[in-house]
Amino acid sequence: MLPRVRSRREHRGSRRTVVVVSAAATLVGVAGAFAASSKTIVVGDSADDVTGALDLQRASLSLAADGRLRAVVTLVGKVDPQAMLARTGPPGSVCLKVWTAPDADPLATRADRLVCVTARGDDELRASVYEQREPGLPQRLGSASVRVNDSERSFVLRVAQSALGRPELIRFAVESTRPGCARVSCVDATPDKGAVRRFRLRGSPRPAGQ
């Protein structure tokens, strides 16, 4: 039996089917990549690279179910608010540094938002959101929530997207500063060497008119 010769119409139909399938696969791939960019991002840090009570071990960033940004910062040792207090000099702090501008260069500019944990007393923590513009000192914008997890080694921070200006994409890093010390050697950072990570705020509601 001779092989059946397909008509031009059948060939065109086959090509249209291939194009539709390819387009659908592309859309699925783009959607998957977009979703993946908003998944939890984890960065680690070397243990014992600084001395003191605020040696970072790891940090993670994700979106909470209520839409707030959720950061978990884990220390090598246990969280001790009293150890963050300073008799003289600046208090100890752990800060989430955020660059909100889409064209921000973290190597050339300071983070324009800071979400910092400090000690209010011997057994109480406080989390605040600051705006940092050149020149001048950071200006406090409001509060964030903070608690210590069950292991007593992690700060769990939650901050509203509105406090960050509702950007679609941020760059972030985490930094801790030993109490009473303003030297560079008293600062621990993750990622190391001034690096940052990118995080997409999936589903960020935009202000009216934008």
Please check whether residues 189 and 124 belong to one and the same domain: yes
Please check whether residues 50 and 113 belong to one and the same domain: yes
Please check whether residues 20 and 81 belong to one and the same domain: no
CB within 8 A of 11, min separation 6: which ones? none
Please check whether residues 146 and 160 belong to one and the same domain: yes
> Which pTM was predicted?
0.77
Q: In degrees, to the nearest 5, what angle opens at C-alpha 110 toward C-alphas 75 and 38?
A: 60
Range of the domain at 23: 8-37
Please check whether residues 80 and 139 belong to one and the same domain: yes
Please check whether residues 119 and 55 belong to one and the same domain: yes
Please check whether residues 27 and 74 belong to one and the same domain: no
Please check whether residues 70 and 150 belong to one and the same domain: yes
Model confidence pLDDT, tens digit, residues 56-86: 999 999 999 999 999 999 999 999 999 999 9
At 54, is the secondary structure helix, strand, or coil? coil
At 91, is the secondary structure helix, strand, or coil? coil
Helical segments of 37-175, H only: 81-84
Please check whether residues 47 and 103 belong to one and the same domain: yes
Model confidence pLDDT, tens digit, residues 10-42: 544 544 443 333 333 333 333 333 333 468 999
CATH assignment at residue 76: 2.60.40.1190
Mean pLDDT, the chain, integer: 82
Which of 100-124 are b and which e, b meaning 16 or more Cβ less than 10 Å from the residue's Cβ?
beeebeeeeeebbbbbbbbbeeeee
